[in-house]
Amino acid sequence: MNRFSAFLISFLVAGAALAQAYPNRPVRIVVPWPPGQATDIAARVVAEKLQQQLGQPFVADNRPGAGGSIGTDAVTKAAPDGYTLLAASSGPISIMPNLQKIPYDPLKDLQPVSLIAMAPFALVTNPSFPANNAAEFVALVRANPGKYTFSSSGTGATAHLVSELFNSMAGLKARHVPYKGSAPALSDLMGGQIDYALETVASLAGHIKAGRLKVLGVTSGKRTAALPDVPTLAEAANLPGYDIGAWIGYAAPPGTPKDVATKLSAEIAKAMQAPDLKERYLSLGMEPASNTPDEMASFLRNEQSRYGSIIKSANIKVE
């Protein structure tokens, strides 16, 4: 046996041993958002399950700032030993690289682990809007180019891009009104100053149930458990292939052993089967999700490319 073969075997054995023993101390999960935000909540819910299953603390460490890029960048520079993870999400991973210069390349500078949640959006209007379903809505807005307005939580935000894709596929021309956050945007929508919006089901469910907003469809490819009676826009608005939403996942620093990432991915898949986790996600308007590190890597490539196409097509720029 030559030296290289011996080295390779010892490397593989060491990697397998590391994965088998992992984790043997607390794991830090960097959340690049403030406490209480959707990514933070989803990351903590899964962390609780991983702690129960693996017998070590999984501790959230909030590092907010710069649209999630500060915490994300910190993880790209952390030790690749499996003891630092990132609560990754659409904005800083799939969208920001297409809009502005950031200090990391998410497709090269992170080791994907697994998705942990999908957050569908829904099309909503003021209750007085003269359309009772998605087909009527599309026909009305399409027949009046430039007349109607739609809001978002900011230029280049996920809600903005979800809306632009919907408008493009439905052949709608409407005026975008960006806000600093979804709360003021929804307030003006309920007040009648804005005509429609596509926002997360999590932020809309309470207003929909209270009758303050009229819901016409969800953006996911299948109906969501949080609004089981609401059709998808793909079917209700006759937009085959319209399937989009925000995502949340776990990633690790580049160079993290693949065996460790695979073990975490398997444990996350197990956690997603827990009834209490599913119930918690339902209350948050999110859908459980999991995949392998390779599947997540492919997913991230596709998402970055798709959002890049939306941004380019709509000529979206941020100052």
DSSP-assigned states of every residue in 17-81: HHHHH--SS-EEEEESS-TTSHHHHHHHHHHHHHHHHHSS-EEEEE---GGGHHHHHHHHTS-SS
Say whether pLDDT at 277 is over 90: yes
Q: Which is more confident, 68 or 14? A: 68
Tell me the pLDDT band of 1, cut-offs 50, 70 and 90: low
- For 43, the token pair is 């990351």
Mean pLDDT, residues 148-154: 96
Q: What percent of the chain has pLDDT over 70?
A: 93
What is the chain's mean pLDDT, rounded? 93
Q: Residue 117's beta-bridge partner residues?
A: 248, 288
Residue 173, helix vs strand vs coil: coil
Which residue bears the tokens 């493009």?
A: 168
Q: Count CB atoms within 10 A of the CB of residue 255.
A: 10
Distance between CA atoms of residues 244 and 118, nearest Å: 9
19-118+247-314 maps to CATH 3.40.390.10: no
Kindly report, residue by residue over 174-198, the tens digit of the pLDDT: 999 999 988 999 999 999 999 999 9
Q: Which is more confident, 142 or 19? A: 142
Residue type present at position 261: A
- Domain borders along the chain are 19-118+247-314, 120-236
Q: Are 219 and 233 in contact (CB under 8 A)?
A: yes
- For 290, the token pair is 């999991």
Same fold: 19-118+247-314 with 120-236: yes
Distance between CA atoms of residues 20 and 23, nearest Å: 8
Residue partners of 17: CB distance under 8 A and separation at least 6: none
State the pLDDT at residue 234: 98
120-236 maps to CATH 3.90.550.10: no
Tell me the pLDDT band of 12, cut-offs 50, 70 and 90: low
Q: Count CB atoms within 10 A of the CB of residue 100.
A: 14
- For 218, the token pair is 């969800």
Please state whether the predicted TM-score (pTM) of the whole model is above 0.75: yes
